[in-house]
Amino acid sequence: MCANMFGVLKSLFGKPFDGGKRMDHGAQQHQQHHPMEQQQQSYHQQHPAMMRLYEVQKEVQSLGSAVCTFSGLQHDRDYKRIERELTRLLLEVDKVDTEGKPELQGARKRAAQEVEGLLRYLEENATHPSRIAIEDLSNEARQLVDDRVVAPQRSGGVAEINDELVEALQEIILRLTQVKTEGRVPLRKARYRALTRMCAVQDVVEGRTQQQTLSLPLSGETHEAVNLINQVMVKVSVARSQLVALLMGLSGRDSCAHLSRILTEMQVELDALDVSGNAAIRNYRKQVVEEINGLLKHLDLEGEGEDTRRYDLGQNNSIREIEAVRAHVFHLREGVLRHCMMGDLSFRPKAELQSLLTHLDQVDTAKNPCIREARRRAVVEVQAIITFLDLREALARRQPGTEHPAHRAVWLVLGSLSDLQAQALGFDGKRVEKSYMMLEELLTKQLLALDAVDPQGDETTKMARKQAVKFAQNILNYLDMKTDGWEY
């Protein structure tokens, strides 16, 4: 959308207005033979009304960049500023006196339409359902952190930092990664900024849960420097809550710069201590310094998300690596399905698929939940082909004459599931399509068929039925993943 918008801006303002007319070759020849028309056009370009529109277009281009990257909401200060400036420009355009000349009227109309388009785009992104979903999840995380960490600390109590809080934050982060952005820069940027802050808070909280397992602080009788280190640890605990409040937008007075100064002063204070003669105290101080450094690294998030390479994961090297693997997987999947249609089981690229899993396991996700999710999905795609090949091979090795009757019924369902998985692997449509609904219905019927199998006390049949149920559910989950419209 932004690229298209700037393309329109360029076409409207990158050259002199021509009254809204595009000249073909014949018209150009006609113009070349009519100096009077050339003179008239030159006159319109120099007309005061056109010159005023040129001035307006420079401001529009400047605001266009701000509009296309604005990731906030309607009540934000920047939104109101941009909206106010665009409205002013619209009024300026409306004031331009065209003296009734069609060429000038056309130029003014196009300028007004461009400003109106920017206003619409600004509002659309600020009120987009995905933007609202991002804000709702941010508020949910904010409330969780306020209840468990910030509010207790402010009231003089103890922050409730535990594994349950970490898991609750992780669940919100996972839901946030699944918010669709439709490729819009403002939405991608908003999601990235929210994820960055939540992941930072999660990192701080996880660091605290690990610290709680250490035998700290030490007794003040151990060394004269211990009391001072213990006092710094108390300050670090307060700073931790302040940092979490800053990251989640729960601190109206503090700033990242102020907290950074406080933490740096603590480091200076610890560095001044003479603990060279005691290894235990030196190690104690080192741990406190490391915790301070862990907090400091999260204080540079004020401008986080401004760099396109960060929130546009299509440019991320890890995502490119994952996409390269997925392209290879697609090629192998097509080969597997093609050979299976011919009844040929000789094409079994399991070793190659296993090497792709190893490759994916080595992809650096940099603790980015979107990259983690992209990698997880690629892994599921590889595993789906491997399990399909394993079932095909098991069906080929089957010896029907030696089976328990109930076990035979499970094998029949597995045969049907193998055919249905082939369809699921090759499916490339949407959930609203009839073929998807039919495939989902057939898989559900196989689950019902398995539920109706009576093992008659046979343990092998019980195990086989349980595995078949899991297999059917995995196919449904795979199909659901392929059609959920997720994007990084």
Counting every residue, how long is the chain? 488
Query: What class has domain 48-127?
Result: mainly alpha
Identify which of 92, 107, 96 has the alpha carbon closest to the alpha carbon of residue 41: 107
Q: What is the pLDDT of residue 302?
A: 52
Q: Between 194 and 218, whose confidence is greater?
A: 194
**Residue extents of the structural domains in the chain:** 48-127, 142-213, 218-304, 315-484
CA distances in angstroms from 96 to 10, 243, 291, listed in the order given: 21, 52, 62
Confidence of residue 276 (pLDDT cuts 50, 70, 90): low
Mean pLDDT of the chain: 81
pLDDT in tens, 308-333: 555 667 777 888 999 999 999 999 99
Helix (H) or strand (E) holding 437: helix 434-452
Confidence of residue 207 (pLDDT cuts 50, 70, 90): low
Question: How many Cα atoms within 13 Å fall on the side-chain side of residue 274?
Answer: 0
Q: What is the pLDDT of residue 457?
A: 85
pLDDT in tens, 23-55: 334 334 434 444 444 444 454 567 788 888 888
Q: What pTM did the predictor assign? A: 0.62
Mean predicted confidence (pLDDT) in 333-359 = 89
Identify which of 418, 1, 431 has the alpha carbon closest to the alpha carbon of residue 185: 1
Please give the Cα distance from 141 to 136 (Å, whole number). Answer: 9
pLDDT value at 482 more than 70: yes
pLDDT value at 362 more than 50: yes
* Lowest pLDDT segment from 15-24, 161-170, 245-254, 452-461: 15-24
Confirm whether 48-127 and 218-304 share one CATH topology: yes
The listed CATH number (3.90.226.10, 3.40.50.1390, 3.40.50.2000, 1.20.58.120) that belongs to domain 315-484: 1.20.58.120
Q: What is the pLDDT of residue 218?
A: 52
Please give the Cα distance from 374 to 477 (Å, whole number). Answer: 16
Q: What is the pLDDT of residue 215?
A: 46
Q: What dihedral do alpha carbons 418, 423, 425, 428 form, nearest 10°?
A: -170
pLDDT in tens, 393-448: 899 888 777 778 888 899 999 999 999 999 999 998 888 899 999 999 999 999 99
* Lowest pLDDT segment from 96-110, 168-182, 308-322, 474-488: 308-322
pLDDT value at 14 more than 70: no
pLDDT in tens, 125-175: 999 999 999 999 999 999 998 888 888 877 777 677 778 888 898 899 888
Q: DSSP labels for 1-24?
A: -HHHHHHHHHHHHSS---TT----
Q: What is the pLDDT of residue 9?
A: 44
Mean predicted confidence (pLDDT) in 281-304 = 78
Mean predicted confidence (pLDDT) in 436-465 = 91
Q: What is the pLDDT of residue 354?
A: 94
Q: Which of 79-93, 240-254, 267-281, 335-349 has the highest mean pLDDT?
A: 79-93
Q: What is the pLDDT of residue 222?
A: 56
pLDDT value at 485 more than 60: yes
CATH code reported for the domain at 218-304:
1.20.58.120
Looking at the chain, the whole-number percentage of residues with pLDDT higher than 90 is 32
Q: What is the pLDDT of residue 466?
A: 92
376 close to 470: Cβ distance less than 8 angstroms:
no
Mean predicted confidence (pLDDT) in 245-257 = 75
Classify the C-alpha dihedral 79-81-86-91 as positive or negative: positive
Query: 92 burial class (0-12, 13-18, 19+ CB within 10 angstroms)?
Result: middle
| Continuous H helices in 254-368 | 256-271, 279-296, 308-311, 317-341, 350-361
